[in-house]
A = this chain, B = another copy of it.
C-alpha cells in the first residue's frame, strides 16, 4: 500500500504513523516527494483496515501499489533516483559512460585501457576479476589480484570502478575495491546474492537476465531494495530470441518502458547486446537516443589477444569517436556527456 501524508505533517507525527504500520507486522519504507512523506507498506497487508488508516488525521491518501514491485516503482518515488559515484551522478543530466576490458588480464593491459577511456570521456572503469563462465574449463578471472589492479588503474585516472560479484561470500571483498557492485545477467534471480548486496551501502548495477521480462527485472531490483539499499542501476544487455546473427537482441524498448515504470536509472551495454564490434557504436548511439542514462562498453587496445570477448571490444580510437557522436545526440535530449 502507498500511504501519502499531508504536506506539513510534523516529523513526530510521520514517525508515529510509520510506527503504527510497523506494529501491524508490515515492512515500511519512506520517501518524500512534492513536500509529502510517502510510505510504502509491504507484507501481509490484509491484516490492516486501510479505510481506518485513510481516516488518520495526517493521511492525505491511501492507494494500492498496482505493480508487484513497490520500492522500485515510480508511484512510490516519482522523482528520478540519482546515484552519485565518484565524479558522476548516475541518472542525472550527465550521462554515465562506463568502459574498460571484459576481463582484467594484467597491469599493462588495464592501465593502458584505463588511460584511453578516461581521456575519451569515460568516468567509470569496468573490468571483470571474477568471471561467470558457461564452461568450467574457461578462464575464470584473476580474482583479488585483478581487483587490486583495477582499483589502482582507476585511481590513477580519476575513474570509479564497477566489477561483477558472483557469490554472496565475495560481496565484502568486492566492496573493498569496487565502487559499484555488478550483478551479472546469469545471477539476476540469485536471491541470496541480491540479499547480500542489498545489505551493503554500495550502488548495485543489476543486469537484466537473458530471458527476463522487465517486470521480473524490477522485482529483482526490489529484492535488493527491500534489504535497505536503494541505489540500484539497471542495465539492459540484450535478450535471447530466435535471431542468431547477433549474439543477443538488444531490447531498447526496455529503456522508455523502465523510465515509465520506475525511478531507477537505466543504462545499456551494447557490447554484450550485439556481440559484434562494428554493431556496438550504432547501438550505443541508439541507446542514448532512446533515453538511456548511460552506457557500459567493452574497450580493449589489443582485442585479438583478449582472454574473453575480444570480438566485441572497441578499439580506443573507435570509443573516442563514439563518445563524440554521443555528445551531440545527448543534447537533443537535454543531456551532456
| One of B27, B132, B190, B243 near A213 (C-beta < 8 A) | B243
| One of B134, B189, B244, B328 near A328 (C-beta < 8 A) | B328
| Segment from A53-61, A90-98, A166-174, A296-304 that makes contact with B | A166-174
The answer to whether B191 touches A189, judged by C-beta atoms less than 8 angstroms apart, is no
| One of B133, B192, B244, B279 near A256 (C-beta < 8 A) | B279
Per-residue B-contact encoding for A228-262, CB less than 8 Å = 1, 0 else: 00000000000111111110011111111100100
| One of B214, B242, B245, B260 near A257 (C-beta < 8 A) | B245
Shortest CB–CB separation between residue A42 and chain B, in angstroms? 5
Copies of this chain per assembly: 4
A214: chain B residues within 8 A (beta carbon): 243, 245
A291 at the interface (CB under 8 A from B): yes
The answer to whether A191 touches B253, judged by C-beta atoms less than 8 angstroms apart, is no
The answer to whether A285 touches B332, judged by C-beta atoms less than 8 angstroms apart, is yes
A325 at the interface (CB under 8 A from B): yes
A211: chain B residues within 8 A (beta carbon): 210-211, 240, 242
Interface residue count on the A side (C-beta < 8 Å): 68
A331 at the interface (CB under 8 A from B): yes
A118: chain B residues within 8 A (beta carbon): none
The answer to whether A166 touches B186, judged by C-beta atoms less than 8 angstroms apart, is no
Residues on A lying within 8 angstroms of B by beta carbon are 27, 42-43, 68-70, 132-137, 166-169, 186-187, 189-192, 210-211, 213-216, 219, 222-223, 226, 239-246, 249-257, 260, 273-274, 278-279, 282-283, 285-291, 325, 328-329, 331-332
